[in-house]
Amino acid sequence: MTYSPQPGSAAATALQISERMQGLASDGKWDQIESLAVELQRAVMAVAESDRRPLLLALQRSTAAVTAEARDARKDVGGKISELRRGQVAKKAYELS
């Protein structure tokens, strides 16, 4: 069962922000995600405390996807940096011989 808040409510806004974050993560636009995280926090705090639990569970699933994208991106960048370092070492070794 999916959580579907009233359209236009703070909970709906929070879910929309979360969806935007997922799209940005897929596109690798990490700087924009950071600013949306602050907006997401504000939207969640605007939801009545009694209604937050189902929203937070839905957001947990959504942000898990963003976290996975970030982890994959970090791994890719780390691999590229390692390749560059190996290339620099090889270049220096070649220049010395």
Alpha-carbon distance 1 to 70, whole Å?
Answer: 27
In which band, very low, low, confident or very high, does the pLDDT at 62 lie, cut at 50, 70 and 90? confident
Mean pLDDT of 38-63: 90
**Phi, psi for 31 (deg, rounded to 5):** -60, -40
Per-residue model confidence as pLDDT tens digits over 19-50: 898 888 878 787 888 888 889 999 999 999 98
Instruction: Report whether 15 contacts 39 (CB < 8 A).
Output: no
The whole-number pLDDT of residue 1 equals: 54
pTM of the full predicted structure?
Answer: 0.66
Instruction: Report whether 22 contacts 62 (CB < 8 A).
Output: yes
DSSP one-letter code for 51: G
